[in-house]
Chains A and B, each alone.
Chain A
Amino acid sequence: MSTVLDAHIPAGGIEKKWDSHIFESKLINPANKRKFDIIIVGSGLAGASAAATLGELGYKVKCFCYQDSPRRAHSIAAQGGINAAKNYQNDGDSIQRLFYDTVKGGDFRSREANVYRLAQVSNAIIDQCVAAGVPFAREYGGLLANRSFGGAQVSRTFYARGQTGQQLLLGTYGALCKQIAEGNVQMYPRTEMLDVVIVEGHAKGIVVRDMITGAISSHAADTVVLATGGYGNVFYLSTNAKGCNVTATYRAHKKGAFFANPCYTQIHPTCIPVAGDYQSKLTLMSESLRNDGRVWAPKKSGDKRPPGQIPEDERDYYLERKYPSYGNLAPRDISSRAAKQVCDEGRGVGDTGLGVYLDFADAISRLGEKTIRERYGNLFDMYHKITNEDAYKQPMRIFPAVHYTMGGLWVDYNLMSNLPGLHVLGEANFSDHGANRLGASALMQGLADGYFVLPNTIGVYLATQTGKKVKADRPEFKKAEEDVQNRTRRLLGIRGKKTVDHFHRELGLLMWDKCGMARNDAGLREALKRIPVLREEFWENVNVLGENEELNQSLEKAGRVADFLEFGELMCYDALNRRESCGGHFREEFQTPDGEAKRNDEEYAYVAAWEHVGEGSPPQLHKEPLEFEAVHLATRSYK
């Protein structure tokens, strides 16, 4: 039965909620913290900062990651920067403005109270990272430097060359290393979570596979924290790392955790276009490039002249034309859709016609090549390595690509799922970015959740769990282990004719086509018919070689793709249900005459949280109404 979800948002004015919540929440005294075991899955910005902080507080923490080192989690790939409301540039920024920009950027589909808290803690994140030695860019006077990102008219983005993600992750990884050395955190690299264990309705542990020996084992704890990232790889091609997957969150979903807004996916406007069907991933060119690059396409459809031969008056700088006040810094969803429209009109560039230009000629003549090299040298180098083209001499070719997923497991204000004892952080939860995330906000949210939010809210749950410790010898653990083993055996026993990647590619193409940058009723219904067929074929005809009791990358991939093959369906159900366009979710039936997203606040100002009710049955919808007290619902305009 459909229910209305309670997010447990504290009472009071939006500026007061977080502080009063911290004050009113129960504390766990230091002696008792040692008695609580916490499992954290994932070691990116959210997972590592949570593990380090909770370990430092005295909890007994176990942290798991599938990579060979926690420092390789995909947060590392973030290029451009991290937002904060420091107002160091004296350009009118404030907590209120960062909050408002983020709610508006998310097309009024995020939870107001969470976003305000995010903006509030943003400044402490920068302080924390600098103290930990993150080498942010500086001005000659020694102060921190800032730059602009899409969807904002202030410069609030802190950055470390083109590798802000790596530098922030090294900061949290350092803190994690210290806690590992002190024995407060036990680290399990090359270990994949394959199920969550529920005891009397509470998440009390996980089942994992040692990716070197294949050993399946259980770990019990007082609470389980998932910080396992997003599900962008459901599209096969995305800017995510190859290993990124939905398994941890989807397994939790199958055990009762609601999945919120899975149709909200972010298509990033500036990625290197697809070159061929052998392609295994897509590479992002940081949004920061739009500070100086100008996006354009030929005015004439089918214009195949090299860019240098297209005169100025035959070029369409379409972002500047359509969105004069934000120009090339229009938000991601809007810029991506504009690029798609241009290509749909036959004005796309490159061999495939699926590309537009990002041109630095003006910036180079204004600032000199040296300055541009200083700002973006590593990105230009990467572009050259991949495409063999020199972006100092000719414009980059770019095209939108799947980059980030705003949807995730539903959580309340304490970052706890509807499944008691299960906490969810970072990209894996749904709460802060609504239907579209602004640039440089993912790193902010990951660190906010891990450093500042969860350490203050985890006690709310743990305070109710004194004396309720469970051990991994309970039958619930044994059953979960058996399920994992059976599934593994089944995958290894098929010995069909097609590779795991074959099925992943097929699914990806289908999802991109029917549930990608634009969706419609008929297409989504078709996808809902075709995904089960593909899934059935997978379970009959996939070829997974080798054994469980060894390092087996095919088996790892097969398990993840099997979950994507179920999860894709959930996304389509959500996209079909939401009969409006908002942020990254663009339903072709619902658009303004000039092709902008048309929201329907009357009927859809809610979080769609889906419950798994069994194999083959459509999921059950539950709603969390979104109430806006601090901001007014408005049509989002960047014109």
Chain B
Amino acid sequence: MIASGPAKRNFHLRVWRQKNAQTPGSYVQYQARDIPADCSFLEMLDIVNDALVSQNVEPIAFDHDCREGICGMCSLVINGTPHGPNRATTTCQLYMRHFADGETIVIEPFRANAFPVLKDLIVNRSALDRIQQAGGFISVRTGAPKDANAILIPKPAADKAMDAAACIQCGACVAACPNASAMLFLAARVSHFALLPQGQPERTQRVLRMLEKHDEEGFGNCRNHYECEAVCPAEISALFITKLNREYAMAEVKTVVE
């Protein structure tokens, strides 16, 4: 949705500032002036930061890197929604034309117990890496594989696996979930491998280990709120959580019976 208005706009910002993990944070108000409607949300913050530095105020710290929606580094909860108001859009791909002149914009970090704030809007998401390390891979020795076309994969299965693999590990699903669950992320990783023939040998162990790690890291359980799906910039379907549940149930049965 485009908010019509002038080519240059002013915004009132309420930004979460926090010196470090040990110090409590609070909201601080800033004015963003003469912001071109065609500039991105992060470029708006760049402009605000430039002005702050000129006044010898420390700039607002926020994570970002590729600024083209794929690296998963940018975060931010904007007006209560992780990655802001646009569907299927990371914060770095959000443009100021979507905000009305004079609007108040509240900017917070992704909040979850498993994502401690490091500074201002930057959180530590390494818990997601540790879940990956618990089993988010296919064990394959470098140089050993057979010819790639020896493994036939029907296009629908390959496409479905790709749908799951599109997850950019940004953690918006966690920030949006009332239980701070990382199930959408986990479901995407587990489904990607479970849908492919190469993923079969480790299928049972993978889901059990990753899920165990997920819980251990302090993420909550899925209660079917679907907030995760609504904010996911990579459009990962919550149906993958259904698949995760099936994978988990099958794995439990297998470990008991086999």
Contacts and interface: CB of A to CB of B under 8 A. Distances in A.
A214 B234 CA distance: 33
Contacts of A129: 148
A283 B95 CA distance: 14
A280 B158 contact: no
B162 to A, nearest CB: 4
B166 to A, nearest CB: 7
A141 B63 CA distance: 43
B136 interface: yes
B65 A276 contact: no
Contact of B93 (A139, A386, A455): A386
Nearest to A181: B133
Interface stretch (A65-73, A339-347, A629-637): A65-73
B69 A382 contact: yes
B95 A241 contact: no
A243 to B, nearest CB: 5
Nearest to A275: B38
A128 B155 contact: no
B256 interface: no
A292 B66 CA distance: 26
Given A278-B47, A280-B46, A554-B53, A140 B73 contact: no
A279 B43 contact: yes
B198 A131 contact: yes
A557 B56 CA distance: 17
B125 interface: yes
Given A280-B43, A451-B143, A138 B153 contact: yes
B173 interface: no
B64 A242 contact: yes
A280 B50 contact: no
Contacts of A550: 19-20, 119
A174 B193 CA distance: 11
A163 interface: yes
A499 interface: yes
A353 to B, nearest CB: 17
A292 B54 CA distance: 48
B155 A131 contact: no
A139 B155 CA distance: 6
B53 A130 contact: no
Given A77-B71, A140-B155, A177 B125 contact: no
A53 interface: yes
15 contacts: A53-B142, A69-B72, A70-B129, A72-B65, A74-B66, A130-B198, A131-B198, A142-B153, A142-B155, A143-B152, A278-B36, A280-B67, A386-B40, A388-B38, A501-B46
Interface of B: 2, 19-20, 36, 38-40, 42-43, 46-47, 49-50, 53-54, 56-59, 61, 63-73, 86, 88-89, 93, 95, 97, 118-119, 122, 124-126, 128-129, 132-134, 136-149, 151-155, 158-159, 161-162, 165-166, 168-169, 192-193, 196, 198-199
Nearest 3 A-B pairs (CB), nearest first? A174-B137, A142-B152, A131-B145
